[in-house]
Structure 1
Amino acid sequence: MARYRLTLHCGLHKTGTTALQKVLHRNRGALAARGVFYPSPPEGVGHNRFFRAALAHELQHALEAFFVSGTERLLLSAEDLSHHLLDPERTRAIRDTFARLFDIEIIVYLRRQDRLKESVYAEIAKRRFTGPIAADTHYMLDFRERLARLEAAFGRDALKVRLYPEDAPCPTLLLADFCAAAGLDPAAMETDGIRHNAAFHRRKTLLLSEMPVGGGPSGREFIRFLATSAVPDDDGIRFLGAPDTHRAILETYRAGNDAVAARYRMPDPIPTFEMTEEHAAWRPPAPITEAERKAVLHAFVAAD
């Protein structure tokens, strides 16, 4: 029986995954012409839903569509796999779903941990988390441990480990790097108008971290409103964490990062901390005032 090829792109979170998925979804025809099948999900442009137990039928439908597509390679992109694949039992189940018919390769994007922590915190503050950034410890930043769990299930040679290109035009550089890892041609991809999801400035994140917004419809509506709100003021400083905090985070994982870069032959290693002008200009954010909080809430209610 002929074997197919499966490429699983599994994040991490906050590494440009959504922009990349938009490119892949838009260019499904160009990919199919080159023997690569990128399924169109019922919602959105990525495949997180395929790996939720309650929606397993959606993955089955995608596989059925692949097998009649005439292509030889299935490409799935789901950043939530970076959570699922921390669980050995879940990892084995995912592997066994595909292993009989597919040769599996996994593309993982890492991001320097200080930036990753800031970005993940800004995201969860939009949904459910309240408290300071130092209190958020839910996201595993130990990349050596993460990849060891993947390697135990899939083998080292199945893993293609890349470094997310910080502060680069998106999706241009990220797409070029992904295509290099996946053996695709970026010149065949149309990318006009696709950009990173816009990030909130740090004082908006600070406001959210003090409000239990939640993930329901009203919470999502508030987030959309806040994206265009002029309040609270932007102080022009990028990070919530102080330079010493960023340095300490990277130093904590330095040995593991070096080991990961060597073991998985990363084209670009995870950098160590360097003091930049951006860091030198850092100061603590001004607290959110009661006047700012009231102004935002009153404007939101008035806009409803």
Structure 2
Amino acid sequence: MKASGFYVPESLAPYAKEGLFNHLALAVVARPDFCEVDDIDHAVGLRRPAARTLLTEEIQEGLEFELSAIDDDATVIISSEHIHSRVNTTERMMFLREFLSPFFEDFIVVVYIRSQYHMARSLTNTALRQGQVVRKGVPDFCNDEEFDPELPVHKGFFDLKLFVERLSAAFGEEALRVRLYPEGRPAPELIADFCAVAGCALDGLELPSRENASFSGQASQICGLVNELMHERGHDGRLQYDLLRYLDSEHQGAGLVAEPAEVAEFMRLFEQDNDVIRSRWLPHRNELFSNDFGQHDGPERTLSIKAAVEMMLAFIAWRERFGSGLSNAEDRSAADAWSAWEPAMSAPPSPDTRQTLRP
């Protein structure tokens, strides 16, 4: 890409050497008002809130040094999915713009949005992977705080209108390119669409082989049951790690499925705001998202005892061949790291011990 006049910085991505260019550092520099540290801060190397200003200066110096080696007329591509969940106030978005402004003459902000139902599915899949006990496919905001403690998530997390308006306030409405996130197997379609918007040639680009796919409906329920068992009887990091590997390799699918009526009720919460996005940024569409959720109705909705036993027996057989209990040092290291990720796994997680997603 660099030869074509496009450049993706490494200094903003702590895992760039592993080929992961999620620019997590943006969430650090955009939150000078955040008096805590979360998982994103830890990934970038921030351990104490008091060190945020110093780390921001180091990140700025690193980006300045890196960009000094490229052509002045190059197009720099910066990408981070966590801008949505962490840069979650207009003030923080302004801080982000202020941080980036010295480096660039102008901005084009390509933002991909997906239906709140698909956002919820992704959120529950992530929660299951992190060892949480999740029993439902969509959040329940039936309280005065509009907060679901199971995930945990606030209703404002799903407010796409507010998110797009924050971007517009910071970077200007004329800079925004609002696009729909392609569901199914998104990587090829998403990259092709982005390249078309950015004017970047797709030829020769290596598409990512790993996508953060959901488990099947029954596998999601199995994962939730195992998580619950571990909360009751004690956490086993290697078992959890092996189970995730097994489900990833053998049981990918639609995720923890909700009843179509539940999904429709959930989507009605955002109907008016979604239509504002449609009319302002995607006026050629009759509706922002499809309301056809019938494709999620299927035989996997309820996990039978027979299906659960069969899946666990298959997992045991798989683990005997591929599990981290063998001699693979990398697997053991990863499993041990997973085990240390959540210090409170022996008790049911609470909003005090997990990242709470807020508007």
For 2:112, what is the secondary structure of its paired residue? strand
The number of equivalent residue pairs is 268
Name which of 269, 282, 298 aligns with 1:252: 269
Question: How far, CA to CA, are the matches of 2:94 and 2:201 in structure 1?
Answer: 31
Question: How far, CA to CA, are the matches of 2:241 and 2:122 in structure 1?
Answer: 18
Specify every segment of 5 or more residues in structure 2 that has no aligned partner in the other structure, as ranges: 30-45, 47-54, 140-149, 327-331, 333-359
Alignment of 1:154-169 (within 5 A): 154-168=171-185
Specify every segment of 5 or more residues in structure 1 that has no aligned partner in the other structure, as ranges: 1-30
Aligned to 2:4: 34
Name which of 101, 114, 127 aligns with 2:130: 127
- Matched letter for residue 91 of structure 2: E
Alignment of 1:4-23 (within 5 A): none
Q: Normalized against structure 1, the TM-score is what?
A: 0.72
After superposition, what is the alpha-carbon deviation per residue over 1:202-247, rounded to whole angstroms, capped at 9, x for unaligned? Answer: 3333344342679xx974x5454113437xx969875421111122
Structure-2 change in CA distance of 1:129 and 1:48 (3 Å): farther
Identity of aligned residues (%): 20
Mapped contact 2:218–2:302 kept (Cα < 8 A): no
Question: How far, CA to CA, are the matches of 1:58 and 1:203 in structure 2?
Answer: 43
RMSD: 3.7
Moved more, 45-54 or 283-292: 283-292
Shift, 1:95, TM fit: 0.9
Question: How far, CA to CA, are the matches of 1:101 and 1:301 in structure 2?
Answer: 45
Aligned to 2:195: 179
Mapped contact 2:215–2:254 kept (Cα < 8 A): no
Aligned to 2:111: 108
Within the alignment, does 1:242 sit opposite 2:244 as a pair? no
Question: How far, CA to CA, are the matches of 2:271 and 2:189 in structure 1?
Answer: 25
Aligned to 2:303: 285
For 1:171, what is the secondary structure of its paired residue? helix
- Matched letter for residue 160 of structure 2: F
Shift, 1:122, TM fit: 0.8
Aligned to 1:17: none
Aligned to 1:63: 64
Name which of 88, 91, 97 aligns with 2:90: 88
After superposition, what is the alpha-carbon deviation per residue over 1:101-151, rounded to whole angstroms, capped at 9, x for unaligned? Answer: 421222211111112201211112211532433343516111111112222
Mapped contact 1:91–1:153 kept (Cα < 8 A): yes
Question: How far, CA to CA, are the matches of 2:131 and 2:91 in structure 1?
Answer: 27
After superposition, what is the alpha-carbon deviation per residue over 1:263-289, rounded to whole angstroms, capped at 9, x for unaligned? Answer: 123776532321535426563334796
Question: How far, CA to CA, are the matches of 2:96 and 2:153 in structure 1?
Answer: 23
Structure-2 change in CA distance of 1:147 and 1:222 (3 Å): farther
Shift, 1:89, TM fit: 2.9
Aligned to 1:276: 294
Question: How far, CA to CA, are the matches of 2:132 and 2:195 in structure 1?
Answer: 35
Structure-2 change in CA distance of 1:218 and 1:150 (3 Å): farther
Question: How far, CA to CA, are the matches of 1:92 and 1:222 in structure 2?
Answer: 44
Question: How far, CA to CA, are the matches of 1:292 and 1:146 in structure 2?
Answer: 40
Aligned to 1:97: 99
Question: How far, CA to CA, are the matches of 1:152 and 1:285 in structure 2?
Answer: 46
Aligned to 1:206: 221
